[in-house]
Amino acid sequence: MVNEQEKREEFKKVISLLSSAYKNFELATPEDFNAWYFLLKDIPITDLKYAVIKLISESEYPPTIATIRRQAVSVSNPNIRAISATEAWEEVETAIMRYGTYREQEALDSLSPLARAVTVRFGYKYLCLEPLNNRMATRAQFIKAYEAQAEKDSITVGIHLAVKNQIDKRLNEDSTNKMAVVSDKKAKENKDKLNQLIVETFSKN
């Protein structure tokens, strides 16, 4: 089982990945790091890594803690039904009305993962500023793109799970091996202590 220190080290790698992908992403102080760690440490590290990698591949903006948590849920529970394309479009329209053009990151964070990915592909500001007379055509294009991406995700999720399971298996094997090494080391120390005790006992006689 991974201890607290090992988990923090793995979490640092996740943060480094985000920093490499987004030049404007930085946890500048130990307090910032501790806050992120505290709010994300309950997520299995493998799920966390997959969630971050998926978000990096889909968005040019660094994710918030809330976005990472939502994505991690979809990684660990792939059988949860994604919302329909129509519902996704309604999410986008609600976000536009609530956050407007200038609060783009907040708007994107309010969307479900797939709706967010498709919105980023279209361009959030483009959708905000789309003329009303083109709205129905844009809606149709969005729904088509959403359904195509949903189908693609359903095909690839099995591959992702297979790889994830292999990583989990390897981590478990590594943990078991470490425990075995510790056990062997402890046994050797006990044997050495016993031999020393025997030597001391016979020396006195």
- What does the buried/exposed string (b/e) look like for 73-82 if buried means 16 or more CB atoms within 10 Å of the residue's CB? ebbbeeeeeb
Domain presence at residue 103: no
Cβ–Cβ < 8 Å for 62, 25: yes
* pLDDT reported for residue 156: 53
The confidence band for 95, taking pLDDT boundaries of 50, 70 and 90, is very high
pLDDT at residue 57 greater than cutoff 90: no
pLDDT at residue 8 greater than cutoff 70: yes
Domain presence at residue 59: yes
Domain presence at residue 104: no
* pLDDT reported for residue 158: 45
Degrees to nearest 5, angle at CA 168 with 167 and 170? 65
The confidence band for 173, taking pLDDT boundaries of 50, 70 and 90, is low
Work out how many domains the chain is built from and give that number. 1
Domain presence at residue 71: yes
Distance (Å, whole) CA 104 – CA 108: 6
Residue 131 exposed, middle or buried by CB count within 10 Å (0-12, 13-18, 19+): exposed
Domain presence at residue 46: yes
Domain presence at residue 200: no
Q: Mean per-residue pLDDT for 139-148? A: 91
**Residue 5 lies in domain:** 1-80
Cβ–Cβ < 8 Å for 175, 2: yes
Domain presence at residue 16: yes
pLDDT at residue 180 greater than cutoff 70: no
* pLDDT reported for residue 205: 46
Q: Mean per-residue pLDDT for 15-29? A: 91
Structure-block tokens of residue 51: 């969630």
Q: What percent of the chain has pLDDT over 70?
A: 69
Domain presence at residue 161: no
Q: What is the mean pLDDT of the chain?
A: 79
Q: Mean per-residue pLDDT for 78-103? A: 84
